[in-house]
């Protein structure tokens, strides 16, 4: 099952996404939460804390700046751009890449 949450600024996307992810995880589902927002704050909603949320943003920005290598595999992306959140959720911060390297997802 894939669920996408989109909408106007300030309409509650992050709050709804975090609540959905935690509710599904607590009911036994394996949850991969992908934050593709330009200002990724899902980590706050999921409870990973502000420092880890900022770290994930910095890793993504490193790709845009050419300082962090592209990840050719899904598993690699989850490791490089993700973290573990409460309730067993895996959070990944990734979005559109302006300059795509060969083999990049
Ligand atoms: N169901 C709700 N009832 C009351 N307040 C809410 C509800 N959902 C979200 N809010 C509040 O509305 C504000 C915006 O919510 P949220 O950050 O989830 O929106 P967003 O769409 O992700 O915003 P952005 O576009 O800035 O990323 C927050 O202050 C949040 O606490
Ligand atoms: Mg948001």
pLDDT single digits (tens) 72-91: 888 999 999 999 999 999 99
Å from CA of 12 to ligand 1 middle:
3
Residue 101 predicted with pLDDT over 70: no
What is the mean pLDDT of the segment spanning 83-102?
85
On whether the CB atoms of residues 98 and 64 are closer than 8 A, the answer is: yes
Distances (CA, A) of 46 to 23, 33, 75: 11, 9, 21
pLDDT single digits (tens) 9-62: 999 999 999 999 999 999 999 999 999 998 899 999 999 999 999 999 999 988
C-beta atoms surrounding 11 within 10 Å? 11
Q: Is the CB of 83 under 6 A from ligand 1?
A: no
Q: How far apart are CA 93 and CA 99, in angstroms?
A: 17
Q: How far apart are CA 82 and CA 89, in angstroms?
A: 10
Nearest CA to ligand 1 atom 6: 12
Ligand 1 atom nearest to 39, measured from its CA: 27
**CA 13, 15, 17: angle at the middle one, nearest 5?**
65
Tokens 């420092």 locate to: 51
| Res 71: pLDDT | 86
């Amino acid at each position: 099952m894939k669920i996408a949450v989109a909408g106007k600024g300030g309409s509650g996307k992050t709050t709804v996404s975090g609540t959905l992810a935690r509710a599904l995880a607590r009911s036994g589902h394996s949850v991969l939460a992908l934050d593709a927002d330009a200002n990724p704050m899902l980590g706050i909603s999921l409870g990973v804390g502000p420092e880890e949320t900022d770290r994930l943003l910095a890793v993504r920005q490193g790709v845009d700046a050419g300082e962090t290598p592209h990840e050719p595999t899904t598993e690699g992306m989850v490791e490089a751009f993700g973290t573990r959140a409460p309730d067993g959720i895996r959070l990944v911060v990734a979005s559109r890449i302006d300059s795509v390297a060969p083999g990049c997802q």
